[in-house]
Amino acid sequence: MKLICNGSDLADAVGKVYKAVSARTTNPVLEGIKIKAENGTLKLTATDLELAIEKIIVADVKIEGETVVPGRFFAEFVKKLTQEQIELSLNDSNRLKIKYTDSEGELQCLSADDYPVIKELSDAQKFVIVKNELKDLVNKVAFSVATDDARPMLKGVLLEIDEVTLTAVALDGYRMAKCVKPIEKTSAMMHALVPARCLTEIARLIDDSTDPVEVCIQKNYLSVDLEHTRITTRLLDLDFINYKQIIPAYFETIATLPKDQFEAALERAILLSRSDKSNLVRFDLRENVMQLSSNSEIGNITEKIFIKLDGKDLSIAFNARYFTEVLRYIDSESIMIKFTDSVSPCIIVPTGALEDFMYLILPVRMQN
């Protein structure tokens, strides 16, 4: 193998695919990045067997070939060569020479024959959605997944596709996020449970444009093709929780309030409650006023916000971190919080717009 490529293009490509290199593995080849030179291109591939990222760049290929370079070192090395033209050449001992200006380095590589084959979704069902809509949908729900392994299905985001919409749902047992976006077309109604980290990487690689993107789903795989970058992920073959049963059927108390004022008050109230890791803040709703209060050994904080209150007065407590995390994804000036009682989950939605985003939080039982 022998080729010449632009250093900036190579560094960008390696930076993208390196996100899929396995961090913890007993298989050395999964710590590498496969590079393949053919037909005037250099194709880079990385996978941890759950997520695979492939990137193609233009190259002046003198001799075709392929190998697996040490992922971490190669990524760090080419990151410092963005201003150079780089020549890569592989000898019979599977050592890769990297030449740039008047300098060079050499890496011992692994055989490409041992690298996993990336699944090609040739007979997949497909749907098309605008790029920035897909990116926004992922950002609004993926942070709500579980981070531990106790219930593996909760580490995934459920995607449900019907004739006109894509619905994404994520929950961790304490909170749930649900977002609905329009799609341009679909080949079938379908659903998929996608590992959240893989969906997040897809969102990071998508640009914030109004161009359409095609998402393919076939059996246990999902893939997205972004021109010269392709991301493929295994799906979780698990049954997701029936999330519709969690959503309250009716509400006794509805508060409408300014988002920014509420967010600032919560951030101050949480300063004290943060010391015991529960982030416990009490909400008292009375006569068009919401009072937020938190206590610790250091002292106490009380914040008051004027609200529009419909329904009954209420006292309820929450882990306030769940509120502060969702508020950063709400763009409207005001929000609506719907309560049933002091022991049932509340629902948060943006006001003044279509309710395409809904967030649910379980309360914390208050001690008498």
- Between CA 79 and CA 87, with CA 84 as vertex, the angle to 5 degrees is 95
* CB of 138 closer than 8 Å to CB of 233: no
Cα atoms found within 13 Å of the Cα of residue 327, Cβ hemisphere only: 21
Enter the tokens of residue 134.
């897909």
Alpha carbons 215 and 49: distance in angstroms, whole number: 19
Alpha carbons 315 and 301: distance in angstroms, whole number: 16
Amino acid at 264: A
DSSP 172: -
Of 307, 323, 324, 332, nearest in space to 361 by CA: 323
How far CA 24 is from CA of 48, 49, 242, in Å, comes to 9, 12, 33
Q: Which H helix or E strand runs over 322?
A: helix 321-327
160: β partners: 167, 191
Q: Which H helix or E strand runs over 71?
A: helix 71-78
| HEC string for 167-205 | EEEEECCCEEEEEEEECCEECCCEEEEEEHHHHHHHHHH
* CB of 10 closer than 8 Å to CB of 86: yes
Q: Would you state the pLDDT for residue 274? A: 64
Q: Give pLDDT tens digits along the chain (368 positions).
A: 999 999 999 999 999 999 999 888 889 999 999 999 999 999 999 999 999 999 999 999 999 999 999 999 999 999 888 777 999 999 999 999 999 888 888 999 999 999 999 999 988 999 999 999 999 999 999 999 998 888 889 999 999 999 999 999 999 999 999 999 999 999 999 999 999 999 999 999 999 999 999 999 998 999 999 989 999 999 999 999 999 999 999 999 999 999 999 999 999 888 876 666 668 899 999 999 999 998 877 888 999 999 999 999 999 999 999 999 999 999 889 999 999 999 999 999 999 766 689 999 999 987 75
Alpha carbons 269 and 340: distance in angstroms, whole number: 24
Going along the chain from its start, the domains and CATH numbers come out as 2-114 (3.10.150.10), 125-241 (3.10.150.10), 247-361 (3.10.150.10)
Strand order in the sheet with 156-161: 190-195, 156-161, 165-171, 175-182, 357-361, 346-350, 334-339, 253-258, 308-311
